[in-house]
């Protein structure tokens, strides 16, 4: 019997719970934050406030299978879930099994979920600056035993899907390419950014360039927002399209942004609005959203205003009105 999928939501009261595919609340919003169910469990943040509360894992009957004890947690994948030990700002990440046992010790500054037997991990440290989290160090890949099988060497990395993973390397002009599971670059680094493959295609961007601001060194003792800017270069936005696993462009880069295909549809941004196209590039759901995510189990998360998220079905009908994320 296939279990009914559930979807994380937050209400106007800033509490998080879950709905079913019709938009009916199935787990009442009593948590600080929630993430998606996977392998029968969902990470939830439980407590009085976001600073002191901890993450644990519940089942669909709202039983805590793994008690709240972590500073951070992501969903299970391939029997393992990333969890953070210590503080939110400086704690280390490791992996637990479905019983809550720590099987890969927490020693990473950040991790991605396991996919195809490998997980991307950052090996050094992160700190917090004016703009938020700043991650230093390089990304590599570990196997399910915690062994580093692709040495840390990338400035960015996403998960393996369909045998390939997007990675960023400064050795080739701070560009993104794709490696195989041995670490060999099989699609040369040439993109401004890239997402993992899904349904035989990967979203890529061509032509984007980062901006920068140089601050007056004589103001170094002042708070960053009070320092004078001596030089500024605005970022340049390129265009996004899709490639196949040979690296050939299948859908020309004509969109302002693009995300992965799922269930035959992909969210793309055109003229500052997000909608959904099929693989023939036909608009199935017209551009109308502030942001949009890929479909999963028949629903897709969309935003119509800053920091508000809801869900639509494949016809574009809203099944959960956008509320605070």
Please name the residues in contact with 231: beta carbons below 8 A apart, sequence gap of 6 or more. Answer: 212, 213, 214
The model carries a pTM of: 0.88
Torsion (CA) 168, 128, 52, 119 in degrees, nearest 10: 20
* Spans of all domains in the chain: 1-108
Contact 322, 309 (CB under 8 A): yes
Report the chain's mean pLDDT, rounded to a whole number: 90
CA–centroid distance for 168 within its chain: 16
DSSP helix/strand/coil, 224: helix
- As averages over each run of 10 residues, the pLDDT of the chain (325 residues) reads 85 89 96 96 92 94 97 98 93 97 96 98 64 64 97 95 95 88 97 97 88 62 62 71 97 97 98 97 98 98 92 97 75
What is the tens place of the pLDDT at every residue in 69-92? 999 999 999 999 999 999 988 899
pLDDT in the model for residue 184: 97
pLDDT in the model for residue 159: 97
Contact 292, 303 (CB under 8 A): yes
pLDDT in the model for residue 145: 97
∠ Cα 86 87 93 (to 5°): 55
- C-alpha to C-alpha distance for 319 and 22, rounded to whole angstroms: 6
For 185, counting Cβ atoms within 10 Å of its Cβ (0-12 exposed, 13-18 middle, 19+ buried), the class is middle
Residue 174's Cβ-side half-sphere holds a number of Cα atoms within 13 Å equal to 4
Retrieve residue 24's tokens.
Answer: 């009916």
What is the tens place of the pLDDT at every residue in 164-176? 999 998 776 789 9
């Amino acid at each position: 019997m296939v279990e009914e999928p559930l979807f994380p939501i937050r209400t106007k009261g800033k509490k998080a719970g879950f709905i079913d595919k019709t938009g009916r609340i199935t787990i009442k919003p009593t948590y600080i934050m929630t993430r998606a169910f996977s392998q029968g469990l969902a990470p939830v943040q439980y407590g009085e406030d976001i600073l002191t509360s901890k993450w644990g894992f519940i089942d669909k009957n709202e039983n805590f299978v793994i008690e709240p004890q972590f500073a951070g947690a992501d969903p299970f994948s391939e029997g393992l879930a990333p969890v953070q030990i210590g503080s939110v700002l400086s704690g280390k990440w490791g992996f637990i099994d479905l019983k809550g046992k720590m099987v890969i010790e927490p020693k990473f500054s950040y991790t991605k979920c396991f996919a195809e037997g490998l997980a991307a991990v950052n090996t050094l440290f992160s700190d917090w600056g004016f703009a938020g989290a700043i991650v230093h160090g390089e990304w590599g890949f570990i196997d399910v035993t915690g062994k580093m099988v692709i040495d840390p060497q990338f400035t960015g990395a996403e998960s393996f899907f369909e045998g390939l993973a997007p990675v960023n390397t400064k050795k080739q002009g701070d560009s993104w390419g794709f490696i195989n599971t041995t670490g060999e670059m099989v699609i040369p680094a040439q993109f401004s950014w890239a997402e993992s493959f899904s349904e035989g295609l990967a979203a890529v961007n061509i032509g984007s360039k980062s901006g920068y601001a140089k601050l007056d060194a004589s103001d170094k003792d002042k708070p960053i927002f009070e320092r004078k800017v001596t030089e500024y270069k605005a970022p340049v936005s390129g265009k996004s399209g899709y490639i196949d696993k040979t690296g050939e462009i299948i859908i020309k880069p004509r969109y302002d942004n693009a995300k992965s295909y799922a269930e035959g549809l992909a969210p793309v941004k055109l003229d500052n609005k997000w909608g959904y196209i099929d693989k023939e590039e036909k608009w199935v759901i017209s551009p109308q959203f502030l942001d949009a995510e890929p479909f999963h189990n028949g629903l897709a998360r969309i935003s119509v205003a800053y920091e508000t998220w809801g869900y639509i079905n494949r016809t574009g009908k809203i099944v959960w009105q956008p509320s605070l994320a």
